[in-house]
Chains A and B, each alone.
Chain A
Amino acid sequence: MRPEDWLTQLLEIVAALAAAPLFLGWVNQCRAWLQNRRAPSVWLPYRNIRKLFHKDAVIAQNASRFFRLAPYIVFGTMALAAAIIPSMGTRLPLVVSADAIALVGLFATARVFMSLAAMDIGTAFGTLGARREMMVGFLAEPALLMVIFVASLLSASTALPAITEHLATQTLGLDPALAFTAVAFTLVLLAENARIPVDNPSTHLELTMIHEAMLLEYSARHLALMEWSAALKLFNYACIGFALFIPWGVATGHIGPLGLIVAIPTLALKLLLAGGGLALIETLSAKLRVMRAPEFLASAFLFAVLGLLVHVMLGGRG
């Protein structure tokens, strides 16, 4: 690995950390436009995080160390996840140590720590949120894994950059297996990021909430980290989607200044479009009852497995 590869690696993490709140702000703005509301500033998530960092932390009396440790772990796993998703270049030194299965493992780690932290205070909301989050997770996680596996089988690798390189250099034309998995991935993205059909990011209505219920006891810097990680997670999922389904524009060789000049605007453009699309889906769909969420996710899982079967039946293995 050459030093500029490490530079790319660093750039990817920093860019993800910096741009994630902006992406969230952009999605919120699009949503407001589509719903005929006055849009908040795209910089609002930054101000929010800054404000939270300056506040005094209030922690419940019986919170254990676990509760205070969890935000850092969740944030750390999300930042590491950003490092191993090829958003700009594919020569990422860290990826040899953590392939896509490890990426799914990272998301699972974040989920488990978040749920356990939510149970730590011992309020009704916390455990309710944890239970629902794990319910969403146990179906979304294998669905995501299956989505990645279809791409792995196409490109004979479980490392995301290798998959991206393979897919980006292919002739244009959608593999039928990938079409199925694209649907599955979209459903997983919505569910995992607490977006509308499954959860509503802008409500604290107890009967429907999942993600917010888990964060109810967090305040100040801990909450800031949790919010930032949520933004990072959305950013990461979007980048996984780009890596699997629209990989063009990512610098595939050793990245140079020229590669960056192409890669950064392409990523920005993709994010702009994805944010708009996400806002559109959220505006067009209604929130499902929590009891219906498993069906939604089961269909995501089945779509992904169907994609896998289609791939096998069409004869392309390995």
Chain B
Amino acid sequence: MISASPLTGCAALLAAWAFIGLAGLLRPSSVRFAGRTLFPLGAVVGLALAGLAGWSLLAGGTEQLVLPLGLPDLPFHLRLDPLSSFFLLLLAASSAGVSVFAGGYFRQGEGTAPGLLCLQYHLFLASMGWVMLADDAYGFMVAWEAMALSSYFLVTTQHRIPEIRRAGFIYLLMAHLGAIAILLSFGVLQGGSWQFTFDAMRAAHLSPAWAAAAFLLALVGFGVKAGLVPLHIWLPEAHPAAPSPVSALMSGVMLKTAVYGLLRVTLDLLGHPAWWWGLVPLILGLFTAFYGVVFAAVQTDMKRLLAYSSIENIGIVFTGLGLSVIFLGAGMQAVAALALLATLYHCLNHAFMKSLLFLGTGSVLHATGERNLGRLGGLIHRMPWVAWLTLVGALAIAGLPPLNGFVSEWLLLQSFLFADRVPHEFVNLLIPMGMALVALCAALAGYVMVKFFGVIFLGQPREATLAHAHDCGPLERLGLAWLALGCLLLGLLPLQVVAALSAVTRQLVGTAVPQAASQWWLLAPVPGRSVSYGPLVFLAATVGIVALTVLAVRLTYHQRVRRAAAWDCGFGLLTPRMQDTAEGFGQPIRNIFQSFFQIERELPAPSDRAPRYRIAIADRFWSAVYEPLGRSVQRMANAVAFLQQGRISVYLLYSFVTLVVLLALALLA
């Protein structure tokens, strides 16, 4: 019954991940066994899975399988189609780098035992893969929960620290709120057939109102996981709390499972979206992108900064998704495919660049024990490998050509630009505004990345202890280099990526993005207009001109260099503390977008002996939405607390009364 095919191969590799995890329990306290053997093995499995998923993506076929596992009447259904192949590829390819890095990263004495950590880590990977393969609501929810639980334990690795336990709790709570919405969405999607396989949902005919309800519920459910504002509050707490490889996976891959889920529900299970559905993710996405990047600019904790940057990128992804749904609903398949392409491309790019940056912070954290940007600096001298590889990720995420971040932003801007008129005036006016906001976010991302890289790696060390920082080990270098290479290749070979993605766009919106130019190195996605981008030529021209300049300067003039102290304006007391701190560098943004933040300032008085300057920036959504919500839940709980008497006789009475009432109801009916 089960024959060798890409789908069984993928399922077997996911099982292999789970077994690698279980093997960690053999020697739970051995860092060497987990780090030198199991994590690299996990990376190899990742590479194999990436190869298989990539092959299946290029082949473009669809394959289904029923596993004789699960509940008696509810076997697990699996399905490998272009959409799931693409997201499996994303998971496997980026996690390979993270796993190798993790092999060198985890040390003794970091909370959870290494073997247990290995189990949680690989179960996390396997459950994410399962989410992408699941073909029924039951299997999907089991995988989804397994993913949430395994990542919860990973977030709380250092569970002895109260803040980390709190972050984990918030994460778990939000994850379950999201799961409820997803469950309800599946409940609507089955459309009265009570069949929970995805095939049945595809066949179900929903009225427009119910279809919209299913879409909105899915948007909320997956939006929580993705970190869509205002459902984002768990993200800046959980990402910094987790160990860096886990943050990398959560940010790079787990957020994309939410994008996968929403795409699956909206464009596959529901099939024919109304145009106005797209407005919701479009507007929320734009707001999320802007909100995320503005908050990222004022952060002082490097991992929290990256977490907010992830929120920004998810906003951009949802913007593309919303745009695609609007165009599809308006019957403009070609532009819808372009917007969807930009969305998927950005997901893939973000998986590589954000994992790279999170791993970079992990190395910095290990070398210095410091997460606060204000206590770092000058690490490019002590940690050249980490610095230069992280620079690739920082430039990529800032959207600079010819790296990968630029390509997806370019595609997104093109789909904004060359949308023909949508038959709705409001949307026609909204689209230019959206384009302006995307451009603004991209530019702000540059600001954030200059701050991130400049404050950590450049300048003078702000603390004396930084002089003992050491570069990362070989496994960590390999992981970082793999991800940096991914950023570079995804940027340089966009045409090949677009060709691979054409199967997905064909599956979801019915058409692929055409290639208008005949050259293999030229990306020209809009036929009939002269719009093209050739990163290889771009890179060659840049490198050529720079090399010529270097050569010309060297040949024509002398190369004498003298080292001297930095210019101190004759002041004579230049100390590292005179550099901008992270607060200082974010100050213009804080001033310009003041109304976004809830700022608490503590300024020194002129007479203070020891002047203290403190500034705390909080998310307004906490005080405006979540704290009142929490209080009202508390009030409701208090109101019904009298039921809880704490005596067994009372509880028996409750059961008895309930039974009697139910019997009475049954008899009456």
Contact = CB atoms under 8 A, between A and B. Distances in A.
A262 interface: no
Contact of A57 (B398, B399, B542, B562): B562
Contacts, number: 256
A149 B609 CA distance: 56
B588 interface: yes
A137 B566 contact: no
B549 A72 contact: yes
B662 to A, nearest CB: 62
B421 interface: yes
Interface stretch (B233-241, B343-351, B524-532): B524-532
Interface of A: 53-54, 56-64, 66, 72-73, 75-77, 79-80, 83, 94, 96-99, 101-102, 105-106, 108-109, 111-112, 115-116, 119-124, 126-128, 130-132, 134-135, 137-139, 141-142, 145-146, 149, 152-153, 156-159, 162, 216-217, 221, 225, 291, 294, 301, 304-305, 308-309, 311-313, 317-318
Given A59-B563, A98-B534, A120 B421 contact: no
A311 B450 CA distance: 34
A196 B67 CA distance: 71
A203 B440 CA distance: 30
Given A119-B580, A130-B454, A138-B444, 15 more contacts: A57-B561, A60-B566, A61-B563, A72-B546, A75-B545, A76-B546, A120-B380, A124-B578, A127-B580, A131-B584, A134-B451, A135-B592, A142-B439, A152-B417, A308-B436
A94 B395 CA distance: 23
A217 B566 contact: yes
B645 interface: no
B398 A112 contact: yes
Nearest to A295: B592
A139 B437 CA distance: 11
B99 interface: no
B177 interface: no
A294 B447 CA distance: 14
A64 B560 contact: no
B450 A62 contact: no
26 contacts: A58-B562, A59-B562, A60-B566, A62-B378, A62-B566, A64-B380, A76-B542, A83-B541, A98-B541, A111-B446, A115-B450, A120-B459, A130-B585, A131-B580, A132-B588, A134-B588, A135-B592, A138-B440, A138-B443, A141-B446, A149-B435, A158-B414, A162-B530, A221-B553, A309-B432, A312-B432
Contact of B579 (A124, A309, A317): A124
A101 B564 CA distance: 40
Contact of B443 (A128, A142, A156): A142
A225 B553 CA distance: 10
A252 to B, nearest CB: 14
A30 B108 CA distance: 69
Contacts of A162: 530
Nearest to A133: B450
Contacts of B558: 56
Contacts of A97: 522, 532-538, 541
A127 B585 contact: yes
Contact of A317 (B413, B421, B541, B561): B421
Interface in B251-305: none
Contacts of A108: 398-400, 443, 446
Given A105-B406, A122-B576, A221-B557, A60 B450 contact: no
A217 B451 CA distance: 19
A101 to B, nearest CB: 5
B428 interface: yes
Contacts of A53: 553, 556-557
A75 B553 CA distance: 12
Contacts of B442: 141-142
A53 B558 CA distance: 9
B654 interface: no
Contact of A313 (B429, B522, B549, B550): B429
A79 B591 CA distance: 35
A123 B443 CA distance: 25
A269 to B, nearest CB: 28
Interface in B337-384: 377-378, 380-381
A119 B460 CA distance: 9
A128 B459 CA distance: 12
A98 B560 CA distance: 36
B578 A101 contact: no
Nearest to B571: A124
What are the 10 closest A-B residue pairs judged by CB atoms, nearest first?
A122-B459, A97-B534, A122-B460, A76-B546, A142-B439, A97-B537, A127-B580, A119-B454, A60-B566, A135-B588
B530 to A, nearest CB: 4
A159 B421 contact: no
Contacts of B458: 64, 66, 116, 119-120, 122
B453 interface: yes
Nearest to B546: A76
Contacts of B33: none
Contacts of A127: 454, 459, 579-580, 584-585
A94 B541 contact: yes
Contact of A157 (B378, B450, B531, B538): B531
A37 B649 CA distance: 100
Contact of B459 (A94, A98, A119, A138): A119
B553 A305 contact: no
B587 interface: yes
Given A64-B381, A105-B400, A142 B564 contact: no
Nearest to B554: A221
Contacts of B613: none
A313 B426 CA distance: 11
A99 B532 contact: yes
A109 to B, nearest CB: 5
B449 interface: yes
Contacts of A98: 401, 533-534, 537-538, 541
A109 B561 contact: no
B595 to A, nearest CB: 14
A186 B19 CA distance: 63
Contacts of A76: 542, 545-546, 549
Contacts of B163: none
